[in-house]
Amino acid sequence: MKAYVFPGQGAQFVGMGKELYDNNAEARALFEKANEILGFNITDLMFAGTDEDLRQTAVTQPAIFIHSVLLAKSLGDEFRPDMVAGHSLGEFSALVAAGALSFEDGLRLVSARAQAMQKACELTESTMAAVLALPDEKVEEICAGIEGVVVCANYNCPGQLVISGEVAAIDAACEALKAAGAKRALKLKVGGAFHSPCMEPARAELAAAIEATEFHVPVCPVYQNVDALPHTDPIEIKANLVAQLTAPVRWTQTVRNMIADGATEFVELGPGKVLQGLVAKIDSSVAVSGMQ
């Protein structure tokens, strides 16, 4: 069985999507439609912007979404997923690719989500940090003992977690994690504490946008970040998308569940190769490939 997976923030690169734009008429039309919906030329930033341009949440999230979804569309009839999943933002790409959302509605939601998250980032001095070579349980235990907001945000693969929270709490946690034997506990260059309670201020805005959007039953199960389980019910999918803002991305568990349910081949659609690497570390017995 074939599983398609879609990357999240951090996978962007200058020049992303340019080949699709130049060589695929349908993709080109949708790129132009995206510029119209967003109210600015995101294609200029994707194809020829700076790294700094692409790091802004309000640009990064729509850019990765557009690139990922248009890659799926470029496959035409070859795109026949048995199951899909996306990492954080990538969950929206997965839902559009699986037919639960239109491209236009998906882009509007991603833009609304990015803007709501950006506003939440500006309210609290917050960040994220990568933690390598400690068991999940040990990282959870240390975070629970730190004063302030710091939580596990991304369970990426065994031995690789990302923590998220207030800057002072992250600094304290990094010191404690290194003292406990972490190979690395390194702050990331991100706009704020995604997938943590620091994103709570964005919830009402995103929930309202999701509630006002029409969702359909997808063509295959969508494994969602919040519980790592397959979903096809639009009401459940909507609730999980809202919960995802402040809850961790359970990627390790998601991939394991997809494999347990029959996935033997994983294809990453979108910029970069991050998910291909994570899937291979979670289970080296499955086939992994990608398109970018």
Angle subtended at Cα 59 by Cα 205 and Cα 34, rounded to the nearest 5 degrees: 85
pTM score, whole prediction: 0.95
Span(s) in the chain for CATH 3.30.70.250: 125-187
Task: Give backbone dihedrals phi and psi of 203, rounded to 5 degrees, phi first.
Answer: -60, -50
Asked if the 2-122+197-291 domain carries CATH number 3.40.366.10, the reply is: yes
pLDDT at 268 (0 to 100): 98
CB atoms near residue 119 (< 10 Å): 14
Give me the torsion for CA of 250, 251, 257, 259, rounded to 10°.
-170
Task: Give the per-residue pLDDT at 57.
Answer: 83
- CATH 3.40.366.10-classified regions of the chain: 2-122+197-291
pLDDT at residue 56 in the model: 84
CA nearest to 117, candidates 238, 262, 7, 9:
9
CA 177, CA 167: separation in Å to the nearest integer?
A: 15
DSSP β-bridge partners for residue 150:
165
In DSSP terms, 161 is beta-bridged to 131, 155
Rg of the chain (C-alpha set): 18
Listed in sequence order, the residues at least 6 apart from 209 whose beta carbon sits closer than 8 Å to its beta carbon are 108, 109, 112, 113
The per-residue pLDDT for 10 is: 84
What SS3 class is residue 182?
A: coil
Low-confidence ranges of the chain (pLDDT < 50): none
Specify the CATH number for 125-187; select among 3.30.70.250, 3.40.1390.10, 3.40.50.410, 3.40.50.880: 3.30.70.250
Three-class DSSP category at 106: helix
- Please spell the DSSP secondary structure of 232-275, one letter per residue: --HHHHHHHHHHTTTS-B-HHHHHHHHHHTT--EEEEESSSSHH
Cite the active site residues: 88, 195
φ, ψ for residue 5, nearest 5 deg: -125, 150
How confident is the model at residue 151, as a pLDDT? 97
The per-residue pLDDT for 85 is 98
Residues in the chain: 292
Q: Which pairs count as long-range contacts for 141-146, CB under 8 Å and 24+ apart, including other chains?
A: 142/173, 142/176, 142/177, 142/180, 143/173, 145/176, 146/172, 146/173, 146/176
